[in-house]
């Protein structure tokens, strides 16, 4: 019995050449299975359609914040301070925008947003094939009645059915369904809680709700990753806040609350810094006032002890008095010198001796009169002596008069000389006192200047601090914030899903699924189905193909011609 099968075995002979198949065979093979590709595309397109019908749209939400005070990039130098007093004014300090962005995007503020908006509790209503988020529209309000609660990381879901205005049904597959009253504490494994009806309660009787309670800390981490805070332009102090949410109202509330909390925190920090500055300036001003009072008392005591009002004026007055005294002493010396020459004249016995000149330096009018009389007698005697011999008795009356005037003149000179000598001694004592006082002027001036310098320095600091205190107080009272909201949070068109993208991905996925199926089928099939597989593996060309024949009779060499096709294949 013989059998002829469709299997084929190859007769291979050594050959040096190889054939390189083109991509046309691959394309033909895939085109041969076009119904499979069409089926894959139709199935994926149908899936895309149902996805678009049931997918929840996600909306982008953005907001813009502007800084009004001087700003600086993190690497820019801060050069706005004119002097150290400017450092006391928090309003003059520049804002490093990058630092403020980190503050706005901090876990602390996001955590406050989550707690203020109660984003750790989600409310949704179950419909036929989907659930509807009830943000700000929930008929019930979840609260913990005890601070001792423990929310698991995976959160807790409460499935309830509203029975009426007074009660609800809590579905529990383990403990069984139970009916509870609103505003009544319920004890559970994660804590004691209760549900309170809200103003949106009407119309939800019989509705099935899901209340999902999550850990606020984990919710904050999720919101922190969803919110982006970016500097739009390095040269402009505008900060853009963005997020995305399936509920536009919730996304807008998140960004608006974030900006409000940041601005409130920044203003509070600014007020705290301003109050610290005011406290410092008040304390410093009070201390300086006490020091000024002490310095003024020291200066007053110094002036009283040294009997001066102003050292410079006092020194100028002493120097002027010293100069006047020296001139007076010099005048007295001149007068004494004149009197000495006149005294020598009066002590001579010769009337022919001429009277010394210097009547203009005589200090006394009577002495000047006597000097004039003597001068007149001396002139008369000289004129007489010019025409009359000395022995002539005519000179006797004149000589007697001259002798009498000389005696009076001498007595007058002695009296005046004694007065001048006493005056000179007094002037010399006065000058010695003045010189002593002048010698103390440098040390007094140094001490006075030191006290005045300290007093003036403290007065300047006190004036600056008082002015800065008033300036900071005025700015603090004005309540001007460093930032303004340029654009409140607003939602744009749905960013996902986009029908063109979904259908495009579905089309490519359908083609890829069909191609992958064909490739996988070929990869998993161990049978040789083409001569190309042999040529690729052995790199030896195939000269011909022979059919498989299962028989005991000779296939080719027989008495007659073989009745099998394989014999003909050998002959060919």
Sheet holding 186-188, edge to edge: 140-144, 191-197, 186-188
DSSP 362-399: -S-HHHHHHHHHHHHHHHHHHHHHTTS-TTSTTHHHHH
Kindly report the pTM of this predicted structure.
0.61
Radius of gyration of the chain (CA): 62
CB 285 within 8 A of CB 519: no
- Please tell me whether residue 10 adopts helix, strand or coil conformation: strand
DSSP 254-310: HHHHHHHHHHHHHHHHHHHHHHHHHHHHHHHHHHHHHHHHHHHHHHHHHHHHHT-S-
Q: Where are the alpha helices (DSSP H) in 73-215?
A: 97-104, 107-117
Contacts of residue 497, Cβ cutoff 8 Å, sequence gap at least 6: 51, 52, 55, 57
- Please tell me whether residue 515 adopts helix, strand or coil conformation: helix
pLDDT in tens, the chain (572 residues): 444 444 444 444 343 344 444 566 677 777 877 888 889 889 998 888 888 777 778 889 999 988 876 665 544 444 444 455 555 665 566 778 888 889 889 999 999 999 999 999 999 998 877 788 899 889 999 999 988 888 998 899 999 999 988 999 999 888 788 999 999 999 988 899 999 999 988 888 888 999 999 999 999 999 999 999 988 777 778 899 999 988 899 999 999 999 999 988 888 888 888 888 888 888 888 888 888 888 888 888 887 887 777 777 777 887 888 888 888 888 888 877 877 777 777 777 665 556 666 656 666 677 777 777 777 777 777 777 777 776 777 767 777 777 777 777 777 778 878 888 888 899 888 888 878 877 777 877 788 888 888 888 888 888 888 887 887 777 666 667 778 888 888 888 877 778 888 889 988 998 888 888 888 877 777 677 667 777 777 777 776 676 666 666 665 555 555 555 666 666 65
d(CA 455, CA 449): 10
Strand residues in 198-254 grouped as ranges (E): 208-213, 228-233, 236-245
- Please tell me whether residue 450 adopts helix, strand or coil conformation: helix
- Count CB atoms within 10 A of the CB of residue 398: 16
- Count CB atoms within 10 A of the CB of residue 53: 9
d(CA 91, CA 471): 10
CB 462 within 8 A of CB 281: no
């Amino acid at each position: 019995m013989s059998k002829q099968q469709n299997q084929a075995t190859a007769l291979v002979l050594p050959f040096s050449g190889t054939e390189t198949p083109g991509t046309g065979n691959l394309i033909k093979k895939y085109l041969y299975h076009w119904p499979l590709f069409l089926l894959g595309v139709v199935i994926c397109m149908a899936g895309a359609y149902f996805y678009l019908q049931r997918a929840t749209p996600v909306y982008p939400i953005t907001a813009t914040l502007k800084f009004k005070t001087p700003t600086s990039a993190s690497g820019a130098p801060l050069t706005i301070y004119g002097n150290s007093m400017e450092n006391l004014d928090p309003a003059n300090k520049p804002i490093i925008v990058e630092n403020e962005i980190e503050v706005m995007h901090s876990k602390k503020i996001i955590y406050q947003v989550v707690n203020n908006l109660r984003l750790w509790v989600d409310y949704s209503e179950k419909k036929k094939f989907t659930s509807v988020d009830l943000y700000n529209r929930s008929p019930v309000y979840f609260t913990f009645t005890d601070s001792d609660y423990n929310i698991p990381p995976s959160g807790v879901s409460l499935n309830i059915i509203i029975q009426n205005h007074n009660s609800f049904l809590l579905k529990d597959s383990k403990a069984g369904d139970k009916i509870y009253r609103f505003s009544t504490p319920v004890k559970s494994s994660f804590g004691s809680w209760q549900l309170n009806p809200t103003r949106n309660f009407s119309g939800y009787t019989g509705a099935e709700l899901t209340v999902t309670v999550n850990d606020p800390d984990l919710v904050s981490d999720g919101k922190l990753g969803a919110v982006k805070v970016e500097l739009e332009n390095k040269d402009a102090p505008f900060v853009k806040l963005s997020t995305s949410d399936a509920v536009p109202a919730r996304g807008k509330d998140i960004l608006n609350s974030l900006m409000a909390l940041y601005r409130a925190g920044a203003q509070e920090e600014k007020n705290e810094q301003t109050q610290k500055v005011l406290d410092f300036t008040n304390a410093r001003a009070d201390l300086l006032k006490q020091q000024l009072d002490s310095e003024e008392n020291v200066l007053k005591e110094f002036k009283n002890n040294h009997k001066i009002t102003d050292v410079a004026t006092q020194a100028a007055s002493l120097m002027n008095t010293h100069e006047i005294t020296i001139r007076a002493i010099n005048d007295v010396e001149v007068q004494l010198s004149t009197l000495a020459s006149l005294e020598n004249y009066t002590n001579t016995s010769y009337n022919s001796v001429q009277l010394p000149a210097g009547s203009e330096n005589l200090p006394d009018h009577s002495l000047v009169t006597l000097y004039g009389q003597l001068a007149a007698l001396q002139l008369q005697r000289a004129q007489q002596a010019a025409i009359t011999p000395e022995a002539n008795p005519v000179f006797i009356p004149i000589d007697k008069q001259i002798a009498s005037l000389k005696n009076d003149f001498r007595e007058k000179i002695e009296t005046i000389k004694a007065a001048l000598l006493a005056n000179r001694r007094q002037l010399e004592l006065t000058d010695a006192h003045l010189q002593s006082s002048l010698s103390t002027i440098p040390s007094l001036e140094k001490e006075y200047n030191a006290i005045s310098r300290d007093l003036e320095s403290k007065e300047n600091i006190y004036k600056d601090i008082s002015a800065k205190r008033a300036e900071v107080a005025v700015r603090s009272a004005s309540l001007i914030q460093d930032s303004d909201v340029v654009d409140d949070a607003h939602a744009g068109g749905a960013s996902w899903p986009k029908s063109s993208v979904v259908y495009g991905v579905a089309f490519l996925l359908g083609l890829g699924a069909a191609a992958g199926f064909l490739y996988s089928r070929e990869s998993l099939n161990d049978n040789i189905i083409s001569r190309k597989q042999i040529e690729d593996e052995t790199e030896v060309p195939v000269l011909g193909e022979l059919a498989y024949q299962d028989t005991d009779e000779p296939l080719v060499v027989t008495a007659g011609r073989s009745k099998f096709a394989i014999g003909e294949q050998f002959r060919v």
